[in-house]
A and B are shown apart, each in its own frame.
Chain A
Amino acid sequence: MLLLEDAPRVLAPPRRELAFDAAVTGVVFLADGTLAAGLGDGTVRLVTDDPAPRIAQPHRDGSAVLALAIDFDGAGVLTGGDDGRLARTAGDGTVTPLAEFPGRQVEVVAVSIAGGRSAVAAGREVSLLDRSGKIVAATADHPTTVTGLALNPKGKRLAVSHYGGVTLWWTGKLGEAPAQLRWRGSHIGVSWSPDGSIVMTTMQERELHGWRLLDGQHLRMAGYAAKVRSMDWLTRPMTLVTSGAECALAWKFSGGGPMGTAPIELGRGLGRLITCVAVHPKRPLVAAGFDDGQVALCALKPADAIVRVRGIDGARITSLAWSRDGTRLAAGTAAGVVPIYDLVNAAAPGPKAEGV
């Protein structure tokens, strides 16, 4: 195990590290490799190989970017801010305002590339946007404020989390005939499994809840040290990776799991709390960020192989993103630092994902 021998040493210096004077609230790579970072000053910074990042200001000065998602075309990002605005920022820095919800914090945005739809929430209201960024449908038929949105892999169904569970809509019939997934408690985020069979939520009560759509079977995974703020999926074998504990917990959905099985523990022994996870796009590899600024790469097999790429600086990791080809990893911290790592080896064909 690399960790014990090398614990104090950071193994991969960043290719580049940028520092901004506001917290980083989200990072994502565009299709051409440009990194878009949303900040707590209402700006989006676009980082290419140029020495100075481009600055776009989709949100009011003095507000914060709260949500950041890559747009359908991979050439821009949609952002929601605490100024009540939803906007698109293209890779060249062009800003297009899309919607405004006065007095609201827009913190929930979801995009389905396959379905050509995006969705945004403000209060109890959910709006669907088409490819041109126009609102085509909206409904406020939710019992409380919407806390999470997820489109299924085909982009035909929309899961909306709120207190008491999840409302499921058909995107073609938003506002009509919803299905309800009920579970008492405050659901604060939602995610759809990559095969479309399962809807998972994270809960205020420091646990995960899920529903198997085929038969309505409930899934319940408890025992987290903190609220699960970040979850991501490995497609094969289908595995849900989550933050919220001292190690990243990976729940396998094969072989009768995950209920009644123990999760795989990734990154144990490095820090106190994992705040963010991101699954590599091609390999069974997880990037995990800690509340003290550490970032580690953890292999799902063998589960104890860890490479620490960033040391402790005291600022929480708020966001992590892989480039589409898996050769780069970016992180964002609450202190405004954005390290970018080159991980050429991580993109090379490794052990087959199957049999993890």
Chain B
Amino acid sequence: MTSTDKIPVTVLTGYLGAGKTTLLNRVLSGQHGRKYAVIVNEFGEIGIDNELVVNADEEVFEMNNGCICCTVRGDLIRIISNLLKRKGRFDGILIETTGLADPAPVAQTFFVDDDVRDKAKLDSIVTVVDAKHLAARLQDSHEAAEQIAFADTILLNKVDLVPAADLHAVEARIRAINPTATIHRTERCTIPVDRILDRRAFDLDRILAVEPDFLGEDTHEHDDAVASVAFQEERPIDINKFNDWMGGLLRTRGQDILRSKGILNIKGSPDRFIFQAVHMLAEGDDGKRWGRDEPRVSKLVFIGRNLDGADLRTGFASCVAD
């Protein structure tokens, strides 16, 4: 099965009351003309009896494989495998997580389990954020920052309840944690479904737009804060050097590095190389061909805790091809 045949899976995170249920109901209503299976959590508020809705128990399992941060959602492995036995294709699968959930085990499930990886691909992680209460949530919980850190797309919801000046501050706060996510401002989660589902190809390109050396302003406030750091390199990268460096880095620092993503200009390849990782689990794939007149620039972004920008910069620079 080629990667284009795989069913795209979208993970929906966000605090209770942020607006996830409104969004799920819209996806299920089907007025967008696509068919999505929706996996809801045990505390969810979806009341519809619909054959496309499956209840999940959010069972996070530690894999007994010696990888300390390798947790997966055992229930998802079963549910997704079963959904794929149905006749007729889904356009996608949407997974709702509870408000306090750590997104990592969901994402890692798509790296670790062969059956799931063969047939489904993690398309993107969408986080719904309540514009009014985000600052307080970031103050009182770890998970709020992690959900933003993991997101590919962020719905900044309830913007009608917040003055414009405050919105800029909230967005700056989000950007400090996650410079690569696409942010949509919404009221009652009103957004065309195709702006958040089946997005991978579009959203990964955002990495190229990230300003290099962007350092989250929280970095110096306290070590526990989630921040990000981004690098740019104009010289071609040696893929073997990169794999060696990144492999070692994620093995030793993968618990603190929540996500890493890159678009790389590999020496000798006409195509972009797309790299992304969740904690210690990484995948790489050929992306779009570089345009004839396009500057071939590599970009690499890390989001995590206790990031040592100077060390990461030196490491990335050591991957430049001879």
- Which residues of chain A have a CB within 8 Å of any CB of chain B? 21-23, 25, 39-41, 60, 62-64, 66, 82-83, 102-105, 107, 123-124, 144-145, 147, 163, 184-186, 188, 203-205, 226-227
Say yes or no: A147 contacts B78, CB within 8 Å: yes
Query: Given the complex of chains A and B, what is the CA–CA distance between A123 and B53 in angstroms?
Result: 15
Cβ contact of B78, chosen from A40, A145, A226, cutoff 8 A: A145
B115: nearest residue on chain A (CB-CB)?
A227
* A178 CB → nearest B CB, Å: 20
Contacts of A39 in B (CB 8 A): 87
Contacts of A147 in B (CB 8 A): 78
* A338 CB → nearest B CB, Å: 15
Say yes or no: A163 contacts B74, CB within 8 Å: yes
Contacts of B75 in A (CB 8 A): 145
For residue B113, CB closer than 8 A to chain A, the reply is yes
The 22 listed contacts between A and B (C-beta, < 8 Å) are A22-B86, A62-B51, A64-B82, A64-B86, A82-B54, A82-B83, A102-B49, A103-B54, A104-B54, A105-B54, A105-B79, A105-B82, A123-B55, A145-B57, A145-B59, A145-B75, A186-B61, A186-B63, A186-B64, A205-B64, A226-B114, A227-B115
Contact size range, B? 20 to 34
Say yes or no: B82 contacts A62, CB within 8 Å: no
Contacts of A184 in B (CB 8 A): 64
Say yes or no: A144 contacts B55, CB within 8 Å: no
Given A66-B85, A103-B53, A103-B54, A163-B61 contact (CB < 8 Å): yes
A336: nearest residue on chain B (CB-CB)?
B87
For residue B88, CB closer than 8 A to chain A, the reply is yes
Query: Given the complex of chains A and B, what is the CA–CA distance between A205 and B115 in angstroms?
Result: 13
Contacts of A203 in B (CB 8 A): 64
Contacts of B54 in A (CB 8 A): 82, 103-105
Say yes or no: A83 contacts B51, CB within 8 Å: yes
Query: Given the complex of chains A and B, what is the CA–CA distance between A102 and B88 in angstroms?
Result: 22
Say yes or no: B113 contacts A204, CB within 8 Å: yes
* A160 CB → nearest B CB, Å: 15
For residue B65, CB closer than 8 A to chain A, the reply is yes
Given A204-B77, A226-B114, A82-B82 contact (CB < 8 Å): yes
Query: Given the complex of chains A and B, what is the CA–CA distance between A23 and B86 in angstroms?
Result: 7
Contacts of B83 in A (CB 8 A): 82
Contacts of B114 in A (CB 8 A): 226-227
A123: nearest residue on chain B (CB-CB)?
B57
Say yes or no: A40 contacts B57, CB within 8 Å: no
Query: Given the complex of chains A and B, what is the CA–CA distance between A22 and B75 in angstroms?
Result: 24
